[in-house]
Amino acid sequence: MKSLEHPGEIAVWDPLIRLFHWTLMLSFLIAYLTEDELQALHVYSGYLIAGLLVVRLIWGFAGPRHARFSDFIRAPGEVAAYLGDLIQGETARYLGHNPAGGAMILALLFSLSLTTLTGIVAYGAEGGGPMAGWFLGTRMFGGEVMEEIHEFFANFTVLLVAFHVIGVILGSLLHGENLVRAMITGRKQA
């Protein structure tokens, strides 16, 4: 039997965080790509995203150290200072999320929450899903308005994902560590 020890490495990302991350990525990709063509798949992917967001919210308070919001939510000044250091190519290394990464997580969770909520309301206004009929006939929550807002936040999320990927690449290069591998294995250099 192989040893579970990894000399020089430390466990950082727990299995739930890793499963959440990759399932969310795949679910969002499917929802985004099936927007007009495969409505049922789009809707079910959106429901899965909604469930994942609820789990992540709970895990942000109840999970292990690096999963908790208290471990990576930083003041705006600290995020700005980190980004300034990043531009100069001299950032401190963090075992968990760095201040910019923490801010990105919050932005992604917020944008995904609004994308999901507006999608559920728009679908309900069309007569589908758990909110079917709740908003029929109202101007504010009309299907077309919510659909436009839903589309805006879906596209905004894509922009955030692009910045996230750039940040992961920069962090990997600056600190000589493979952050994608760390999100797969859960381990980083100590």
Does residue 23 lie within any of the structural domains? yes
| Predicted local distance difference test score (pLDDT) of residue 63 | 95
Among 65, 60, 53, CA closest to 12? 65
Does residue 87 lie within any of the structural domains? yes
Q: If DSSP codes are grouped into helix, strand and coil, which group holds residue 9?
A: strand
Residues with pLDDT less than 50, the chain: 1-3
| Predicted local distance difference test score (pLDDT) of residue 1 | 37
Please tell me what DSSP assigns to residue 67.
Answer: G
User: Which CATH number belongs to the domain containing residue 44 in this structure?
Assistant: 1.20.950.20
pTM of the model: 0.87
Written as six digits, the tokens of 38 are: 């495969």
Does residue 173 lie within any of the structural domains? yes
| Predicted local distance difference test score (pLDDT) of residue 2 | 42
Does residue 178 lie within any of the structural domains? yes
Does residue 1 lie within any of the structural domains? no
63/140 Cα distance (integer angstroms): 38
Compute how many other C-beta atoms are within 10 angstroms of the C-beta atom of residue 17.
19
State the total domains in the chain: 1
Does residue 4 lie within any of the structural domains? no
User: pLDDT tens digit string along 130-166?
Assistant: 766 666 555 555 567 888 999 999 999 999 999 999 9
Q: Judge whether 17 and 23 are in contact, CB under 8 Å.
A: no
Among 21, 23, 41, CA closest to 31? 41
Q: Determine the structural domain holding residue 50 and report its residue range.
A: 9-189
Q: Judge whether 95 and 186 are in contact, CB under 8 Å.
A: no
